[in-house]
Structure formats: C-alpha cells, structure tokens
Amino acid sequence: MISSLPPENLREIFEYLIVPENEHKENLALLLYNCLLVNRTWCRNVVSVLWGRPFHLLRGGSSQLINVYISCFPKEAQESIADSGINLNLSDILTGPLTFDYISMLREFNYELIYSCVLQWINVKGRIKINENDKNVDDESIESEEEEEEEDSFSDINQINSKNKSELVSSITYEICKQFFLKCGTLKCFKLSREMYPTISNYFLTIVKLSGAKDAFSQLEEFKLIVRDMDFDILPIMTEYCNTIKSFEIYSLPFLPSNEAGNIEVIRRLGSLNDFLSMQRGLKKLTLGIEIGDNFNQIEQTFRPIRLSPIISSLKNHMESLNSIKLQYIKDFFEVHVEDIIESVPNVHTLLFEGCILNKVSRRSLKSKFTRLRKFSFWKTAFTLDALSTIISNGNETLKEIQLYGRITDSCSDTEKRTSLLSIFSSCSKLEYLQLHTNWLDLGTSSEVLHELGESLPPSLFHLEFDFICNPTDLNALFESCSCMIKCLALGIGTAATNGIGINDVNDANLAVIREYAKQKKSLKTLMLIGYYVNASFQAIEDTNKFVKVIRRESYRKSEYIWDL
C-alpha cells in the first residue's frame, strides 16, 4: 500500500511532481493538494514539499504568501515592516500558534519572485503611509475625494512615484530575506537576478551578507546569477560559503570597461569566477554567459593574457562530473582554442554554443577526446569549418543530436564548404537528430546539395530538418540517396523575413513526393512545416495528413531535444 510507504520515499514521489521539468505535464503539482487529505504523515510531507518552493506554485495569488510569512516573523520584524510605511493591520497577521514553521521549509530561494510577491502584496493592500515629498507630482488626475484623504496618515499606493515605490518594495523584500536566512535552514536552489525589475538598485546583491546566509548556502546545489555591467561582485563571498554546487548558471550582461581601471575590474571579476568554479566539488551542469564589450581589445594589451583561459582550464577539476555545458554570448574566446575546450570537458554529454564566435583551432594532437558527447549545437553562432570539424570528429562515435543554426566564417567556395560539412555527418555512426539551417551556411543551391546530403546521412538518422528551397526533383533525389529511415521530416523557411518568420516554399508537388516516400518506406510519421505562410494548398496538406501527421510552426526555435526546453 502506498499509504504505508516510508516518509523518505513519499517525499521523493511528492518532490517529483513539482520539479520544473514536470510543471507542464498536466499540472501534476495539483495532485499534491489532494494528497494533503490522506493522513497526517502524507499531510506533513506534502506541506514541506509545497512550502519548499511556494513562489513558483502560487504565482497567481502569491501575495497571500507574504501574510503567512509575516505571521511567522518575530514581533520586532513585523514592526520593522510596519515602520516602512505599510498599513499592517492585525487582520494581516495569523493569530495563535501556527501548525507548521513555514519559513524553515523553504528550499528554493528566488529573489525576483519574492520581490514580485512583495510588490503584488503592496498593491493589494492599496494604502500606505507616505510623506508629502513622496507623492507622485506627475499625477495631475487625482480626484477631489483623494485630495481630502491627503490629510489622513495613509494614502493611495498609486500616489507615490515609481522610484519611491521601488525603494519601498526593496526595503520590505530585504527584511523578508533577512528572516528567511535566519530560519530557512539549508537551501538547495538560489536564484539572484533583477532581470524582470531592472530598476532595483545594486544593493539587492548584498543579501548574501545577511546573518544566516552562510549556513543557508552551505549545502547549495543550484545557483543562478544574472548580473549586469559592474554589479557588485558576490562570487568571492559565495566561494567562501559553498563548494557543493551541482548546477551553476551565470549571465553577465556585458562588461563594458571604458578605461584601464574598468579593464582591470573585468579581469578581477573573471578571476572571481575562476576561483568559484575551481572550489566547487562535483559540478554537473554549467551555463556560462559572459558578454565582454568590444572595446575590451582596445585597452591596454598587457592585460590580454588573463582572459578566459583560466576559466576553461578550471573545468578540468570537474572532468569526471561535468555532463552539460552551455557557452553563451562569448564573442571572443581570445587565446582559448577548440582543443582546449575538448581537453577540459571530455566527458560532457551536452555541449551547446549560443551567440558565440568560435574560430580558433590549433590543429595539435589531443590528449583526450569526447567519450560521451550526445548533444551538440551551434545556435546563432559564427564558426569556422575547422572548429566544427574538430568538435564533431572528436565526438563522432557517440553523437546523437546535432543542431547547426549559424554562420560559417571561412572565405571558401560553396563546394568546399559543402564537401567539408557533409563529410562530417557521415562519420557520426549513431546520429539520430540533425537540424541544418542551410540559409545561414551558404552551401549552394538545393540541386547541388540535396543529393550529397542524402548520401552523407548515416543509417541511424530518423529526424531531419533543413530549409533548402527545393523542387520535387531535388527532394526526391534526397529520399533516393539516403539510407536512413526518416521518421520526422521538418522543412523550414525558404524565403526568410525578419525575425525568422517567412514563407515556407513547400508546394503541392513537394507534398506529393513526401506522400510517395511515406507510402514506400512506411517510416515517416511526422512532417513539420515551419513558416508563417506555406505555399501548399489546404487540400494537399489534408491529403498528406492521411499518411503522416502534419504539424505547423511559425518560426525556428531551439531544439527541444537538445536544449531541454
């Protein structure tokens, strides 16, 4: 009987229902509310799981969480919030002893969600104690009734200007964070960002200095940090607090040093990042998004040797544990070569580049090669054929999924590019998924490419996506020359417009060829047509739908298989 399972097993089941990967699966989290009523043991376990990440589960009515949490605060903390100007009525506070210590159950700390809840809570309360100088002088539409209320000690929240309102929300959020760190125990996940609320001052980063933060972070497993130009550097503090990070994401929106002092500061921050990564034990997942301003190269050249090389080298400390790495917005790897990346992370199963420029290859013999690489992507990335070939040829024995949506920077002919690129795919004996955005790659016309593409596809492939403008003869040549049994065929935009939205040039004749392939091979199950418009007639699409499932999608997107979206 499941009702008699040990508490630790029950908790594992309940936690599975609310992990982020399952939130979209028929709202599994809603099942937990029914589990509250089974018995006392179930109720205790479910409550602790729900209150482990409450801000994610109650986004619609999450302002109510603030009342519950304030009820858990000591009296002096409640008075501090009231002193900030909030009309804190006794009705807001839950009287009597609480059944559970809700603060101690918190396991996932997301600053922006807490800030958002406080903002919503203040707006719901609607009235606030303000000074005459805090009123919004830009609002000239205050009615006479509201003018009479100015004599009262409390006024409408909308009468204060946005700056003072932001400061108020930040102040209350800071007080709530202070209580969380004092009583929450050890956190599993910490996300620190002001991406949704860019007007928040740098002061929000200092919450990591609050009393109790060191203990709260001592067993931290997931850390996501989004900062911007010259934000307060918290990584030295976090390096002192924790070395148990399993998943780390950092997005540093661009470092823009304008002088030598700024240049030194950038280097210091890169050093902090290197130290933080080096101190972790058992890092499994890394997302590194660092955008350094273009003028970084133009300042003192004597600072160049530091750069990204130590950071890439520090990943060798996680050679056995690191299985997923995303490198984003790195416009210049400076002295880092593709071989350096391979030797630093030979055991990764996922290697993704987004918005990068990767063009340095040393052509030296490698000390190690990829042993488990399954997923690889260049998304909106500029690269040389040498860089691409070096990565794939050193992972061709295990690669299963490849996505190429970028630009080849080599100044070679279409024929040379095509020959080099297609020969790479044929060496991947386990390749199952290939997404090839040829409009970016300049490989030549469809009549030149499709026959060669078909011959280069390994027998293991079952998902193929490309965006050639092709006629029925060329499409038929692809089908006849390939030895694989395609299960999913995705045909992309032929005439591209802005933002990746355009016309899909698949017409009735193309669909007739696809139907014939589906009837003969009996492997094709899904046809995906990508584009805001499709040239094929409604009747032709309906006829095709009798043989394969036809799916329409307006624009390109990252592969859900590769990027785990």
pLDDT in tens, 6-60: 777 777 777 777 666 555 544 666 677 777 778 888 888 888 888 888 887 776 6
pLDDT at 54: 87
Tokens of 561: 């298989």
**Angle, helix 414-426 to helix 385-393, in steps of 10 degrees:** 10
Q: Is residue 209 situated within a structural domain?
A: no
CA 37/CA 489 separation, integer angstroms: 48
Domain end point (choices 155, 170, 185): 170
- CATH number, domain with residue 419: 3.80.10
Distances (CA, A) of 277 to 97, 246, 338: 44, 11, 20
pLDDT at 154: 47
CA 87/CA 291 separation, integer angstroms: 44
H-helix segments, 128-221: 144-149, 162-183, 213-216
Q: Is residue 257 situated within a structural domain?
A: no
CA 240/CA 217 separation, integer angstroms: 10
Tokens of 94: 């839950």
Which residues, in sequence order, are CB contacts of 312 under 8 Å at separation 6+? 336, 340, 341, 344
Give me the number of domains the chain comprises: 2
Tokens of 312: 């890439």
Q: Is residue 295 situated within a structural domain?
A: no
Cβ neighbour number for residue 156 with a 10 Å cutoff: 17
CA 271/CA 273 separation, integer angstroms: 5
Q: Is residue 218 situated within a structural domain?
A: no
Closest CA to 518 of 490, 542, 487: 487
Instruction: Kindly give the parts of the chain with pLDDT less than 70.
Output: 1-4, 18-30, 59-61, 85-96, 126-163, 229-230, 253-263, 292-307, 439, 493-504, 565
- What residues form DSSP beta bridges with 287? 249, 326
pLDDT at 40: 81
Q: Is residue 91 situated within a structural domain?
A: yes
Q: Is residue 323 situated within a structural domain?
A: no
Which helix (H) or strand (E) segment is 313 a member of?
A: helix 309-314
Domain housing 74: 2-138+146-170
pLDDT at 266: 73
Tokens of 393: 């040829």
**Angle, helix 111-125 to helix 162-183, in steps of 10 degrees:** 120
Which residues, in sequence order, are CB contacts of 318 under 8 Å at separation 6+? 277, 280, 282, 283, 284, 286, 345
For residues 340, 392, 385, 325, the Cα torsion angle rounded to the nearest 10 degrees is -50
Q: Is residue 420 situated within a structural domain?
A: yes
Q: Taking the mean position of all CA atoms in its chain, how far away is CA 458?
A: 31
Q: Is residue 50 situated within a structural domain?
A: yes
| Burial 462-493, CB ≥16 within 10 A → b, else e | bbbbbbbbbbbebbbbbbeebebebbbbbbbb
pLDDT at 21: 57
